[in-house]
Structure 1
Amino acid sequence: MSAASPSPIIERGTTTSRIAAIAVVIIIALLATAPQFLSAGAVDRMTALFIYVILAAMWNALAGFGGLVSVGQQVFFGLGAYFAIRLADAGLNPFASLFVSAVIVGIVSWPLSLFMLRLRNGEFAIGMWVIAALTHLLVNLDRLVQGETGTSLISLNVYDTGTRRTVIYWLALASMTALLAILFGLLRGSTGAAIRAIRDNEDAAASVGVRVTGTKRLLFVLAAFGIGIAGALWLATSITFQPKTYFNVQWTAYMIFMVLVGGIGTFEGAILGALVFFLIETWFGGTGVWYLVGLGATAVLFSLFLPRGLWGTIEERFGLHLLPVGYRVRFPGNPTTALDGDAPLPRQTTQHQEKA
């Protein structure tokens, strides 16, 4: 009689992930004190990095975890900046207007989701791009904006340059930290399991009681809110607002690039992808059109040879999970084989390896 097969081991947190969590807290604390030691230019660049992390994490949440691929997320980036301009012009403190504008973007995204989430796959992706283009045209009609001439967040000029730079840095760091924490907590709970179930098979998820529409709407609004904050913070760093810049599809292209390179559907991948994009931009951003050509070529190469991105490949080969949001099923005697709740399941797989 053959021996009974050993039971699989279900794990989430590991010693490595606990050490990583402590390291994250230390890194954030160090970043909070960084303006005292960094040059003005370095502070501005770090602020840009925090914004890139927000953009990558929000698009990854929507597409990587939720399966909602959009090429029109620049609509929320642009609206975040636009509403900040409008609120500041109405007399609200410019720093407060950055976050109030993001709240308004989140509110606006809710009725938008009522009909956009009826679309699937390519229809949803193109539909979001159409919404972004229409919104761009509507914003141009605002007399305050003056069409493509644009306007400025002039109320920030009452603060001296050093104070303004430091405050914006801290606001960007706090926003990035808060949004990543909210997303991490959401994905680790039952809602996160529902989100990934919908991504893997929407009909199957609905058949076992998952509230498909409500869950997708929650993710849609969260992504809009986060990208709205990113747009408002970018406005604060640049002061000027031109609709053609903020509603440009290049912002979504950057999001897609960061997520594809870092690892779509992995929490750490979006952060790593944002860092890679930041370094490429820092080193090669001054090369003009060749910089954009290089970004496109890099994205194509990763799609062909590293389809799971940098972090996805590291997870696959070494089983390393620093910030796990799903459960892993490990089989004794074959420690390299595991089904991980963070990554999309193969199309032919019908099992779902996570607990709601």
Structure 2
Amino acid sequence: MTSISTSADAVAAPPAIRVRRQTVSGVIALSLFVLVIVALSTMPWWAKTGTIRMVLELCCYIVAAQMWNMLAGYAGLVSVGQQAFIGVAGYAVFVLAQTFGINPFLAIPLALVVPALVAVPCYLLLHRLDGPYFAIGTWVVAEVFRLVASNLGWVNAGAGMSLAVMREYSGFERNVAMSVLCALMILVSIGGSYLFLRSRYGLALIAMRDNPVAASSQGINVGRLRFMIYVAAAVGCGFAGAVYFMAQLRINPPSAFDPMWSNVAIFIVMIGGIGTIEGVLIGALIYFVADRFFGEYGASYFVVLGVMTVLVALYARTGIWGMISKYWDAPWFPIRRHLLVERKDRA
């Protein structure tokens, strides 16, 4: 009896558990992502100035949308006032470059300190609000910033500011700077979000998104994680605003704190698919193409975009990428962990 048991134990080995985090589609997408970063960095040598400006605008939309996606899609913080951080960073670049004489390209990373500092008291003020109250609160904060900027004399109040120091740089130098900044924006926003979501903090964030109470009971500090995401989203939006208005060479309160920034971000995420990086890229491309071809229709165009957003929210809550994923499980940025059981028989 003992020999039979020993023989069975020798044949049947315990299963080996392996965690798979990457997929074939993910490897292909990662390779294409690297090629896109290289292409963006080298635009001055193969693209015209007009093309570079269009690509820069698209990159700014992607960054703003991804930051809103991290807030609403993962942290559960629905904000309609992210234009506050876009505006303050844009103004910070102009003040540093035009008033204090700092190199405008160096002023961009320095300006990102401003939205980070501003986000701290804003979150302390808003974090006790929940749901629609939080969203309304973010919009009120953004309007306060707009009113303050409209009445501050040292930023030229409602007349706005111009970035005259950019005349010191040639057109090619500007194109090189804009191309490098485009690559950095995509690398930081998309690549950074992907790495974050694959980390243990990303696991905690996903758990918090699914059930904050259960996540908290498992030791996750929900409040601290939401604070981190809020500040990071503020800095990301500030990055987009700083680059965008540097390229525009002019800034004023209505454009800097325009609610359209949040509207565009919400549209992109809702159409593409909330809670996914792939959805942001798809939604941004759809919005950019629609804006280029149909933006001239004005109010009618915005009504159509609004109706599309409502229809998606009602009948396709997972967005375009969510519908694709139902029939084709090939994520571009895989963040899920798959447990694979491997049985090995020993003779």
- Which stretch of structure 1 is more off in the superposition, 172-181 or 183-192? 172-181
Cα distance in 2 for partners of 1:175, 1:272 equals 17
| TM-score using structure 1 length | 0.86
Cα distance in 2 for partners of 1:150, 1:283 equals 29
Query: Which residue in the other structure is 1:23 paired with?
Result: 32
Cα distance in 2 for partners of 1:58, 1:299 equals 18
Query: Which residue in the other structure is 1:13 paired with?
Result: 22
Look up the equivalent residue of 2:30 and give its one-letter code: A
Cα drift, residue 103 of structure 1: 2.2
Q: Name the SS for the 1:314 alignment partner.
A: helix
1:84 pairs, out of 82, 85, 93, with 93
State which structure, 1 or 2, has the greater radius of gyration over its C-alpha atoms.
2
Query: Which residue in the other structure is 2:129 paired with?
Result: 119
RCO comparison, higher one (Cα < 8 Å, 6+): 2
1:217 pairs, out of 227, 230, 241, with 227
Q: Alignment identity in percent?
A: 34
Contact kept, 8 Å, 2:63 with 2:189, in 1: the verdict is yes
1:310 pairs, out of 320, 323, 341, with 320
Is 1:136 aligned with 2:178? Answer: no
1:181-225 Cα shifts (integer Å, max 9, x gaps): 221111111111111222222122111100111111110011000
Instruction: From the two aligned structures, give the one with the greater helix fraction.
Output: 2
Cα drift, residue 8 of structure 1: 11
Is 1:325 aligned with 2:332? Answer: no
Look up the equivalent residue of 2:128 and give its one-letter code: R
Contact kept, 8 Å, 1:61 with 1:265, in 2: the verdict is yes
Cα distance in 1 for partners of 2:123, 2:133 equals 14
Query: Which residue in the other structure is 1:254 paired with?
Result: 264
How has the CA–CA distance of structure 1 residues 310 and 329 changed in structure 2, closer, same or farther, with 3 Å as cutoff? farther
Cα distance in 2 for partners of 1:298, 1:35 equals 36
Look up the equivalent residue of 1:60 and give its one-letter code: N
Look up the equivalent residue of 2:66 and give its one-letter code: A
Query: Which residue in the other structure is 1:338 paired with?
Result: none
Look up the equivalent residue of 2:334 and give its one-letter code: P
Contact kept, 8 Å, 1:98 with 1:233, in 2: the verdict is yes
Is 1:192 aligned with 2:202? Answer: yes
Cα distance in 2 for partners of 1:58, 1:128 equals 14
Cα drift, residue 243 of structure 1: 0.4
Contact kept, 8 Å, 1:144 with 1:151, in 2: the verdict is no
Moved over 4 A (4+): 7-11, 328-331
- Which stretch of structure 1 is more off in the superposition, 248-257 or 286-295? 286-295
Contact kept, 8 Å, 2:149 with 2:158, in 1: the verdict is no
Query: Which residue in the other structure is 1:279 paired with?
Result: 289
1:163-191 Cα shifts (integer Å, max 9, x gaps): 21331232122122123222111111111
Cα distance in 2 for partners of 1:289, 1:163 equals 37
Cα distance in 2 for partners of 1:216, 1:128 equals 15
2:164 pairs, out of 151, 154, 166, with 154
Is 1:39 aligned with 2:48? Answer: yes
1:51 pairs, out of 60, 67, 78, with 60
Contact kept, 8 Å, 2:40 with 2:182, in 1: the verdict is no
- Which stretch of structure 1 is more off in the superposition, 241-250 or 115-124? 115-124
**Unaligned residue ranges in structure 1 (runs of 5+):** 1-6, 332-356
1:205 pairs, out of 208, 215, 219, with 215
Look up the equivalent residue of 1:86 and give its one-letter code: V
Contact kept, 8 Å, 1:105 with 1:224, in 2: the verdict is yes
**Unaligned residue ranges in structure 2 (runs of 5+):** 1-15, 342-347
Contact kept, 8 Å, 1:187 with 1:326, in 2: the verdict is no
Cα distance in 2 for partners of 1:178, 1:271 equals 14
Look up the equivalent residue of 2:45 and give its one-letter code: Q
Cα distance in 2 for partners of 1:321, 1:154 equals 45
| TM-score using structure 2 length | 0.88
Cα drift, residue 263 of structure 1: 0.5
Cα distance in 1 for partners of 2:18, 2:272 equals 28
1:41-74 Cα shifts (integer Å, max 9, x gaps): 1111011111111111111011111111111111
How has the CA–CA distance of structure 1 residues 319 and 330 changed in structure 2, closer, same or farther, with 3 Å as cutoff? farther
Cα drift, residue 10 of structure 1: 6.3
Contact kept, 8 Å, 2:119 with 2:230, in 1: the verdict is yes
Cα distance in 2 for partners of 1:60, 1:329 equals 27
Cα distance in 2 for partners of 1:55, 1:295 equals 18
Cα distance in 1 for partners of 2:245, 2:65 equals 18
Is 1:68 aligned with 2:80? Answer: no
How many pairs does the alignment contain? 326
Q: Name the SS for the 1:144 alignment partner.
A: helix
Cα distance in 2 for partners of 1:315, 1:225 equals 31
